Amino acid sequence: MTKVLVTGGAGYIGSHACKALAAAGYEPVAFDNLSTGWRDAVQFGPFEEGDLRDAESISEVVRKHSPAAIMHFASLAEVGQSMEDPALYWHTNVLGSLNLLQAAVDHGVPKFIFSSTCATYGDHDRVLLDENTPQRPINAYGASKLAVEQMLANFSGRFGFSYTIFRYFNVAGADASGEIGEFHDPETHLIPLAIDAATGRRPTLTIFGRDYPTPDGTCVRDYVHVSDLVDAHVAGLEYLEAGNPSNVFNLGTGHGFSVQQVVDVVANETGNNTPAKDGPRRAGDCAALVSGSARAGEVLGWSPDRSTLPQMVRDAMRWHAGKGYSG
C-alpha cells in the first residue's frame, strides 16, 4: 500500500485522518510526540514517536518509510495560549514545520497536505471568508500557520513538490463508530466543554465575552464535522496524485453558530440544562469566522454532509459517553 506520513497522527484530527486513509487503501504512518495525542488513538497503521522540533528524528522517519505524501497536522492550536506564549507557537509550529519540509525535500517526498486554519484571516467583521480574503491574523496561532503556508509556497517553487492547504474552521464531532474521538487534557474546545457541563463532568461552562457585534453578543463560528474534514484531506491527496497543481481550500459549511446557540443545542440533545457563567473576552478571539467553501466543492467534489450542529453534538456525545484514552 502507498504510505502516507501523518504528523500529529495520535491527535484528534490526525487519528481520524489515519482511519480515513486506511479506509481509502493507504497505509498511514502516525508520527507524534504524544504531548497532546494519545497512543490508544493510533489504530490504523504504524506508529513512530518523535518531535518535529528534532530535525534528525523526523528526517530519519521520512527516510525509513519513504512516504508518497505527508499530511501535516502536528501543531499547537490554542488561540489564548498563543497570545500568552507566542514564542512557543513560533518554535513549535514554524520550526517544526521547517524541519518537516526540509526532510520532505531531502528524501524526495513529492506531495504535502497541510492543516492550516481560518485564524490566518484575522477579524473581518460580517464577511464570508473565502480563499481570496486577505490574511491578517490577529493572534500568534494564526500567524504561525500563515508562516508555514508561505514556507510551502517558497519550497514548492524551488523544489517542485505539490501541496494542498486546508484552512479549517471549528472542527467538531467524532468518528461515527465511537472508536476514536476528541480528548484533550485539559479540554479547551466548546462542544466537549458544553457536553461535560451538561452531563455533570464539570461544574460549569465559561462563555468568554457577551459584547461582540453578533446577534446575541457571543462569538460566531462555523463548525465542520471531523469526518467530513478528513474526507477532504483524502480527496486533496487524490487531487495531487492526479497531477493537479497546488491549491488552497477552506473547509467549513458557510453557516455560523454563536456560542450561545451551541450551548442551547447541547442542552437540547442531552436533555439537560448547560450551567454557564460569563467571563471576559479572550485576547485574540474574532467576533465571527464563517467559511466560503465553494472551491472545495467545485474542485474536490467535497460536501460537508455530516456537518449539522445536532449531528456533531450527537457524535461527540457518543464518544464522550465512553470518554478517554488510557495512554
Question: 3-class DSSP state for residue 225?
Answer: strand
Yes or no: say if 65 and 5 are a contact pair by the CB < 8 Å rule.
yes
Using CA atoms, how far residue 249 sits from 27, 116, 166, 183, 233, in Å, is: 24, 10, 5, 26, 10
Provide the residue count of the chain. 327
Separation between Cα atoms, residue 262 and residue 258, nearest integer Å = 6
Contact call for residues 317 and 269 (beta carbons, < 8 A): yes
Catalytically active residues, by annotation: 141
In the structure grid, which three cell numbers stand for residue 246, read together?
A: 497546488
C-beta of residue 219 within 8 angstroms of C-beta of residue 48:
no
The grid cell for 87 is: 514564542
Single-letter code of the amino acid located at 186: P
